[in-house]
Chain A
Amino acid sequence: MTTYLLRRVLLLLPTLFGITLLTFLLIRLSPGNAALMRGGVGESGGHAMTAEVREQTIKLYGLDKPWYVAYGDWVGRCFRLDLGESFDDHRPVSEKIRERLPLTVSLAGSALVLSYLIAIPLGIAAALKRGQVVDRTISFIVFVLYSIPSFAAALLLILLVAGGDYLNLLPMYGADSINAPEMGPWAWLWDRVFHMILPVTCLTYASLASISRYARVSMLDALGQDFVRTARAKGLPERLVIFRHALRNALIPIITIFALELPVLIGGAVIIESIFSLPGMGQLMFQSLDAKDEPVIMGITVLAAIVTLLSYLAADILYVVVDPRITYE
């Protein structure tokens, strides 16, 4: 197991290398650079920055170096755990990310937990009532949910319950109320939760749909196995057959698909944050893309890639933990 883990962790490095190289090349090959963006030069024709200052800025940012030298510098700094400084405001990238990360993590995390909590009972209920009205209703609703784009759902929810012509129950955008800094910790927490209800709902329902479809198939698969028939044949109560024999086996693949859901949630959070004007990673990414803020774009890419890679790794390890039949020897 230890050798397996070691090998897997070492294999992460070439993948990370590939991801960062690809992103770096995209930034460098695209027209314009951070210095030009700051100076407002381009089609707009603004000349807020003299040629001399622009040259200095380009030199300062290392934009005059060929891409492979600049990429080498960046990798070297990464090994020293230094993601560099933002071109935009000269603050360390790690600090900028640290400010934004908690919001995105709590958004994606609570969506993941919620979708599991709702999806598994739904999937199991559908599997147990296979082919009956309950199953067909659940399957159809889940299918419809699965096909609604999250941003369309978000807009309609805002319209219906947040400040439109109809109900005005929930806040329309933002992560906190204006007077949040003066609130006590509990009032602040409640305020935050209140603001997060709509974004989390929008992020939850799509994963909920795919997890519950998965749970249903997995449970049906388990119910068709020989050991379930054996359990029934020896006269166990149906409750035990389902919860102790079938469910435990059905959960194995369901638990591990969180690894596939997490990247989807990160991608979805970008859109949701943009709709609800939440100051999370998604907003930081749009800002940095606009300004061609190379260090920040690279920092976010590395972080997202590491999270994705680690969740794949965690899924593989979880397989061994939850299923003693699997070993990596």
Chain B
Amino acid sequence: MNAADASHEVYHESYASRIARHFRADSFAQNGLRVVIALFIIAALAPFLANNHAIVRVADGRVTFPIFPSLEAIEWRFLLYVPMAAVVYFMRARFFQRPLLHFFFLVGLIAAIEIILAVTHPVNDPTNDRDRPATFKLMPPVPYSPIESTPDQFAPPSWKHLCGTDSTGRDIAARMLHGARTSLSIGFIAQSIALLVGVTLGGLAGYYRGWLDIGVCRFIEVMDCFPPLLLILVAISLFESQNNMFYIMAVIGLTSWTGLARLVRGEFLRLSSQPFPQAAQALGASDFRVILRHLLPNALGPILVSATFGVASAILIESSLSFLGFGMQAPTPSWGDILSDARRYIDFAWWLAFFPGLAILITIMSYNFVGEGLRDAVDPRLKVK
């Protein structure tokens, strides 16, 4: 290798790898990301972590795996997270060569799985393997199903029920593990919807300017003048009979795109007056190509930052809605739902409020740490540490 090549190696660093390098230098952000990934894996494995069916059961000389028939087909697909996480882990060196591209590929894949997951309901099977005699059995760490009522009502946390039980004797630890799926997927999908709407409208307004821009800006203003939650509450409570996960995701997504649209519009206004998109246009590139290949990649950093904070706020909104009783339908466990139960029995059942509150806190904090780390990495000048 000659000297010129060597200097090229040293000084060439893409935008994306610079962001990745800065991000990796931030220990808070790194740990935040680890926690988020861990939460997703927990959510993926929830049926194996909390289930009233044994993983392996040996009885009457036969070896059976009762947990598998107890799962709905759809839950199987959600387990794709685990191989996916493994692929990302083992290919991390290659991923970081073009991190942003791969990141978005990954995001798309997760979103697809999430949508499949969104129709999952916990299995309601009255039989359980806890009390069935067997020569040998291996139960999941939390041997209860999230919707299974046990005779122990309001049991405080103990070795039997790690996080206690609620008014109908359902195990809180099991509900928390399964509730992670609700919270994480609603946060993720709602923000993806917001991303799609915000980037499209903001991008078009910033690129074409003129009347389109004025129209989009007015629309953003109208949406922004609803105090947060008010529009969501109106939209959700009025259509209450149709409450399902998709509807809640859509309402949260369709009411939280304005910040992203403002941001993308601003970035596009700034970028499109620079020489490089003009050069691309002069070479005959279509508007579509200029927007997607030249402008959007240059605005990706701030978009990513805003979207990360957006996921945190979507999770918060979902739990507020469940807490107020406008969230998911009854059997589906969600952190906000446990908290809303806690409200009635708050004078003695502290575990009903403490554990879901802690779970929400940890999730939101991790997302916020990742967001802060990304923001500092995207624009190191803003770094205030």
Contacts and interface: CB of A to CB of B under 8 A. Distances in A.
Interface of A: 14-15, 18-19, 22-23, 26-27, 30-31, 43, 131, 143-144, 146-149, 151-153, 155-156, 158-159, 163-165, 172, 216-217, 220, 263-264, 266-267, 270-271, 274-275, 285-286, 289-290, 292, 297, 301, 304-305, 308-309, 312
B334 to A, nearest CB: 13
Given A152-B360, A305-B226, A289 B347 contact: no
Instruction: In the A-B complex, list the 6 residue pairs whose CB atoms are closest, starting with the nearest.
Output: A152-B357, A18-B222, A30-B238, A267-B228, A155-B353, A147-B365
Contacts of B350: 156, 159, 164-165
B230 A270 contact: yes
Nearest to A17: B222
6 contacts: A18-B221, A143-B365, A156-B350, A159-B350, A266-B227, A308-B226
A304 B369 CA distance: 32
Given A155-B343, A155-B353, A304 B320 contact: no
Instruction: Output the residue of A148, A151, A164 with the most chain B CB within 10 A.
Output: A151
B132 interface: no
Nearest to B348: A165
Nearest to B320: A271
A164 B346 contact: yes
A159 B364 contact: no
B238 A292 contact: yes
The secondary structure that dominates the A interface is helix
A159 B227 contact: no
B319 A149 contact: yes
Contacts, number: 132
B339 A152 contact: yes
Contacts of B77: none
Interface string B273-314: 000000000000000000000000000000000000000100
B361 interface: yes
B92 to A, nearest CB: 27
Contacts of B343: 155, 275
B237 interface: yes
B225 interface: yes
Contacts of A271: 229, 320, 323-324
Nearest to A289: B237
A144 B230 contact: no
A153 B218 CA distance: 36
Contact of B227 (A148, A163, A220, A308): A308
B219 interface: yes
A71 to B, nearest CB: 15
Instruction: Output the residue of A23, A153, A267, A274 with the most chain B CB within 10 A.
Output: A267
Contacts of A30: 238-239
A147 B226 contact: no
Contacts of A270: 229-230, 233
Contact of A151 (B225, B239, B320): B320
Nearest to B363: A147
B248 to A, nearest CB: 15
B234 A149 contact: no
